[in-house]
Amino acid sequence: MNLADLQALERRYLMQTYRRAPVEFVRGEGALLWDSEGREYLDFLAGISVCSVGHCHPAVVAAVREQAGRLMHVSNLFYTEPMVRLAERLSESSLGGRVFLTNSGTEANECAIKIARKKAHLRGVENPEIVSFERDFHGRTYGALAATPKLAENPALGPMLPGFRAVPFDHAGALREAVYENTAAVMIEPIQGESGIYPLSEETLLAARQACDETGALLIFDEIQTGVGRTGSLWAYEQTPVRPDLLTSAKALGGGLPIGACIAAGELGEVLEAGDHGSTFAGGAVVSAAALAVLELVDDPALLRRVRELGAGLRESLLEIDGVVEVRGRGLMLGVGLSEGIDAAEVAAALLRDGLIVNVPEPGTLRLLPPLTVDPAQVERAVALIAASLLGTYPDR
């Protein structure tokens, strides 16, 4: 089937909720993808920070093949070893408490919201509130959506879940004022991803931790995009002065398969009891085996150091390009701010034609989320392509 036929079929049979680029991918290996016409692309988006160990990493493929051939699914009414081992590994590598496994990021956040609300009820709060930042992105199911202020404004999707409030991004004072005894949780992306790669300042993170400690609210870190090595530590919070009470993960965790997790600190793992929460697929044996293989690869000091070094080098090289005004983020999670007047979407489209995949989270920003296993020569190639594209798209600059 050619691309035009595929596009026609997609328009006929898939709900039109996405604007897809006109490319059909058929194969991936490491940081490379190939389309249906045999063209090669360097993938600096990695399925939106999902394929962090690269496409079809042999260790992940082997784990999936092995598990899929033995046992795929029995439901959460029984035990399987990959599920329990994964929970152990996630807990021991982070907050130390119990884990609820999910099928996606938004579901991981639903679990965190449920824990926070129940915990607030347990201390006598009748109308618990969750505070997040403007332009935060926490997902698209109704709880997570309510904590995603920009999308929650859409009246056609209302009514929204009550009990959510947003404060200006990175405004420590506004956050402190918004958190009071009815606050169930402060929900934070340590680095905003979908809105353009904007890190929270240490001052705000410390203010959030302090406000939560003073009021009994929980501090939730949504590490769905920042986690699993993306910023150069297994979890982004490790490079900040604060430790959250709940941490959510997804995206890269499954190496390309859908899995998420809500990890609790200490006693918070006891808040949800039998009947409070559940999911048929969650913690399935195949996705859990894949996640264990991913963590084995990523939870490695040498790989994490490499992410920090490659990220620092990439940032420096990008800043030397004419048309780049700033580079935000940490590790291999970078937002490239372009000079005023440059349309990032136009640049990204040109880059795609040149064989480099990047994404545009907001009009003036290119978002780079390459696989953590990308090699230095590929990083150099990406920088050269971005420089050439900016020059080619805006030759008069």
Q: Shortest Cβ contact with ligand PLP: which residue?
A: 105
250 vs 348 by CB, closer to ligand PLP: 250
Per the CB < 8 A criterion, the answer to whether 359 and 366 are in contact is: yes
47 vs 323 by CB, closer to ligand PLP: 47
List helix spans (H) across the chain: 3-13, 46-49, 58-70, 81-92, 105-122, 142-146, 149-152, 172-178, 202-215, 285-298, 301-319, 344-354, 376-393
Q: How far is the CB of 251 from ligand PLP (least distance, A)?
A: 6
Q: Identify residue 8 by its one-letter amino acid code.
A: A
Q: Which chain residues interact with ligand PLP by CB under 6 A?
A: 104-106, 109, 137-139, 189, 193-194, 222, 224-225, 250
100: β partners: 262
Q: How far is the CB of 390 from ligand PLP (least distance, A)?
A: 26
Q: How far is the CB of 136 from ligand PLP (least distance, A)?
A: 8
145 vs 307 by CB, closer to ligand PLP: 145
Q: How far is the CB of 204 from ligand PLP (least distance, A)?
A: 16
Q: From the CB of residue 66, how many other CB atoms can be counted at a distance below 10 Å?
A: 12
91 vs 148 by CB, closer to ligand PLP: 148
CA distance 53 to 60: 9
Geometric angle at alpha carbon 123, from 186 and 208, rounded to 5°? 20
324 vs 358 by CB, closer to ligand PLP: 358
Q: How far is the CB of 354 from ligand PLP (least distance, A)?
A: 26
Question: Of 153, 149, 146, which is closest to residue 135 (Cα–Cα)?
Answer: 149
